[in-house]
Amino acid sequence: MPERIERWLSTFELHASLRPHVAVVVAALPGEVRDDLMGDPSFTLTDFEPGPGRSFRVNVGMPRLLKQGGGGAGASRAVVLKRRMWRSDAGFVRWVIAHELAHAHLRNEGRFPGDDPEAAADALAAMWGFPRPG
């Protein structure tokens, strides 16, 4: 499994200092969540360095046709991480990664109608072993 994850992560432009943290989080995901993300050819994961005069573009995979009544299920999913955050402690970095992957898995929705997407992302991240730091 770690090799499969490494191979998958190598297809994204990710800073070398973030990649090991992403690998740890992806390895800890429940199988169905990992398969959901790794099996989505339009899923993208990248990072950027915020700063004055810098801009960034998110390369989003080709959106697939939305099936009627399918909600956001066909929309492309992109996770963008702040490169600079790798300087924070590992618990924080991994929580951010897990939180963002949870948003992607939930397609920026809650777990159920009326659920707050932010609370849902934190709840999933905590369930996967990456609680929001103190």
Residues in 94-123 that interact with Zn ion by CB under 5 A: 118, 121
Stretch 45-64: interaction string toward Zn ion, x if CB under 5 A:
--------------------
Rounded to a whole number of angstroms, the minimum distance from the CB of residue 91 to Zn ion is 17
Rounded to a whole number of angstroms, the minimum distance from the CB of residue 96 to Zn ion is 9
d(CA 117, CA 55): 27
Q: Which residue, 70 or 116, has its beta carbon nearer to Zn ion?
A: 116
Extract the tokens encoding 21: 């943290």
Query: What is the residue whose two structure tokens read 């397609």?
Result: 107
3-state SS of 84-98?
HHHHCCHHHHHHHHH
Contact 74, 87 (CB under 8 A): no
Rounded to a whole number of angstroms, the minimum distance from the CB of residue 117 to Zn ion is 7
Q: Which residue, 64 or 84, has its beta carbon nearer to Zn ion?
A: 84
How many whole angstroms from its chain centre is CA 94?
11
Return residues touching Zn ion (CB under 5 A). Answer: 118, 121
